[in-house]
Amino acid sequence: MKYFFAITLFLACNLNVMAQQVDASPDKNGHFEVGDITTDPGVRDPTMAKEGGTYYIYFTGGGIQVWSSKDMKTWKKEPSVFSEAPEWVAERLPSFKGLGFWAPDLSYHEGQWYLYYATSIFGKNTSVIGMATNKTLNPLSEDYKWEDRGLVMQSVTGRDHWNAIDPNLTVDEQGTPWLTFGSHWNGLKMVKLSKDFKTPAEPQEWHTIAARPRDFKYTDEEVGNGAVEAPFIFKKDDYYYLFVSWDRCCAGPNSTYNIRVGRAENITGPYLDKDGVDLAKNGGTFVLGGDTGPDSTVYARGHNAAYTFDGIDYLVFHAYTDGYERLGIEKISWVDGWPTVKQ
């Protein structure tokens, strides 16, 4: 979930929940000319998965909202993950209320689905990341039940110069799980997990994988410049690709959100951009942002994830076409080992 938690998030729960057809079919290159930006659902911080013949989008708010589709174009609302908040969340964040869980991350390992999620006290890095598991994503299955597994990690204002939100799980080629996370403050972090996919492995070693210069002190002030958040790692051939989001999110037409990327041969980095600049030192090759020119209809794009479905690589993100975020899906092309998408 993004640092600025707009009130429109809660208004999204009142959107029309009937499945709707987006406005166009993909062209021969896999690009959704209009349908890459949905009219419904309104989506923030999407994570995507495919089980059987069904695609699922999990996203911020409402106890983690869920929609399903057979074709990535027509979407149907499904039950949220949580109908009530796990008790441990209020114990860790006494002022937390409601179901405002942020930025879920969904992946399948060793026979079950892992869902990481975050929540925070607005405007502070007093944040927690939790984890839940399920045997299936199909709500009609008798095996369907999300089991909350509790706290993974917490950041505390005044103690930590990092923020425990925007989690992303990656399992390396040796089967070792790594959790990447973070937003603003002094950058995005990575830590190795134990075999339970939950507990930081000992001895703990925390890696900074992306960061930008900042000019504010570590207080509860306005976040200022140098925004970087929403890490997502995608393995392709010989490289791990780290996608991040820069600049201002969550401000509708005033958003300046854009997606950047770097790559590394080792999962812990360093992640270098196309010019050889380390993402931990303000590097990041531009991938996708808002439209340019007088006829702009999409003001910004960000908080992406990347997946391979049926042999095709996709970039999934949220986009700003009005006052609320919409779902975007684009096919990824690879040019000289770097991801590109049509804009």
Q: Is 164 annotated as a binding residue?
A: yes
Active-site residue, selected from the candidate residues 40, 45, 105, 330: 45
Q: Is there a binding annotation on residue 254?
A: no
In this structure, the dihedral spanned by the alpha carbons of residues 231, 266, 338 and 313, taken in order and rounded to 10 degrees, is -70
* Dist CA 271 CA 62 (whole Å): 34
Q: How many whole angstroms separate alpha carbon 230 and alpha carbon 60?
A: 13
Q: What tokens were used for 147?
A: 């089991």
Whether 329 has a binding-site annotation, put simply, is no
Residues contacting 208, CB < 8 A, separation 6+: 186, 187, 188, 189, 280
Q: Is 207 annotated as a binding residue?
A: no
> Pick the catalytic residue: 36, 229, 325, 330?
229
**At a CB cut-off of 8 Å and minimum separation 6, what does 75 contact?**
19, 20, 38, 40, 41, 57, 67, 68, 69, 327
166 labelled binding-site residue: yes
162 is in an annotated binding site: no
Is 310 an active-site residue? Answer: no
Q: How far apart are CA 71 and CA 304, in angstroms?
A: 19
**Residue 183 annotated as binding site:** yes
Question: Is the Cβ–Cβ distance between 201 and 210 less than 8 Å?
Answer: no
Instruction: Report how far residue 68's alpha carbon sits from residue 232's, in angstroms, rounded to the nearest whole number.
Output: 22
- Is there a binding annotation on residue 29? no
**Strand pairing category for 47-51 and 239-246:** unpaired
Q: Is 161 annotated as a binding residue?
A: no
Verify whether residue 229 is a known catalytic residue. Answer: yes
Residue ranges for the known binding site are 45, 123, 163-166, 183-185
Catalytic residues: 45, 229
Residue ranges for the known binding site for substrate are 45, 123, 163-166, 183-185
